[in-house]
Amino acid sequence: MAAAALLGGCALLLAAAAWGCACAALWIALIPSLGPAGAPLVVAGVCLLLAGILALVAWLAVHRRRARPVDGLQLDAVLTEAGRLINEHKVAALLAAALAGMLAASNGRKR
């Protein structure tokens, strides 16, 4: 876990360095056409635009709409009906449960 955190930190540091190099390259490329005052303003605008997009994505990730509970679902009726079906078909229910247990147990094994 510590190695993954260290590698993640290094990746973040390298990504920040790459972003800095990209901003510097854009700045240098824009100086001839926009001048020494216009080039940094455009680079700052690009940085602010990207920051705004990332902030919007983060805000949307935090404030996702949760699924609303279904209004007409009567849980007692569903459970009663499920119990009735299991009582009527005990052999099939036991076989299905055993098969599901075997499948769940075999998924965790390495072959």
pLDDT averages per 10-residue partition of the chain, 111 residues: 86 91 92 91 91 90 75 77 86 85 74 54
35 backbone φψ class: left, alpha, beta (φ>0; ψ -120 to 50)? left
The per-residue DSSP string of 11-79 comes to HHHHHHHHHHHHHHHHHHHHHHHHHHHHHHHHHHHHHHHHHHHHHHHHHHHHTPPPPPPPTT--HHHHH
Spell out the domain ranges in the chain: 12-64, 75-107
Q: Enter the pTM of the model.
A: 0.49
pLDDT of residue 71: 64
d(CA 89, CA 23): 69
pLDDT of residue 61: 85
